[in-house]
Amino acid sequence: MAATDQRDFITFYGIKYEDWKVTFGRFTNHEEILTMDYIGIDCACSESTQADSTCTVGYCATLQFLFPHHIKKQYYIEGVLEGEITVAANGGASHINDYRISIWKANTDNTFERLAATYISGSEWVNVDDDLSWDAGYSIGEERVYHWYIDCWDAQELKEEDRIYLQIEIRGTNNYLYLMHANDPDWTDVWVKIPFRL
């Protein structure tokens, strides 16, 4: 295998801090972070984000998980990214229509660029059309985990002033729909494995 064909696959986990904020480029006091490992289980983190009616159709939630550190001075994302997201019902039955995952880079000068996104059956939006039940007696909502892929075979260059972030968008029918991102290594709500060309 040629040196140019080698990849370094790194897995990141998405969590949302409550007491630690990052400012970089377009992000100010940002709490949604990609980490290379889960942090202490007792650290102050939010478990979920509720969908709301701010989108153009139905209810939606959009989160942008930033990796606020250098990978290398110059590097490339090239290959197939894969990961998972978890959605749940909370407070009542809900329904998830679809979701879209994309990988971006942000720069210190406030510029940002989408590098690649999910694409299946002619659309970036992955149609799932799933009902999520709610058990009022036990106050427990159904959870669904979705495994996804992004084909990024056109190498995307990043330099030392760039940072990557993962954008997750979900769409559903009411505000009982939640995107989960608990800081829990036993149940990985949000993770992504990214191929970096050495």
* Distance between CA atoms of residues 12 and 23, nearest Å: 19
Residue listed under structure tokens 């406030």? 110
Q: Are 104 and 115 in contact (CB under 8 A)?
A: yes
List of E strands, 39-125: 45-46, 48-50, 59-66, 74-89, 94-107, 112-117
**Number of neighbours of residue 31 by Cβ within 10 angstroms:** 18
Q: What domains sit in the chain, N to C, each tagged with a CATH number? A: 10-197 (2.60.120)
**Token output for 123:** 């659309």
In this prediction, residue 1 carries a pLDDT of 46
CA 174 from centre of chain = 21
Q: How many CA atoms lie within 13 A of 17 on its CB side?
A: 17
HSE value, Cβ hemisphere, 13 Å, CA-based, for 115: 26
The residues, ordered by sequence, that sit 6+ positions from 117 with a Cβ below 8 Å of its Cβ are 100, 101, 102, 103, 124, 150
C-alpha distance across the termini of the chain, in Å: 13
Give the pLDDT of the chain (198 residues) as one tens digit per residue.
455 567 899 999 999 999 999 999 999 999 999 999 999 999 999 999 999 998 887 899 999 999 999 888 999 999 999 999 999 999 999 999 999 999 999 998 889 999 999 999 999 999 999 999 999 999 999 999 999 999 998 999 999 899 999 999 999 999 999 999 999 999 999 999 999 986
**Predicted model pTM:** 0.94
184 near 154, Cβ under 8 Å? Answer: no
N residues, the chain:
198
Predicted local confidence at residue 3, as pLDDT: 55
SS3 3: helix
Cβ atoms of residues 20 and 31 within 8 Å: yes
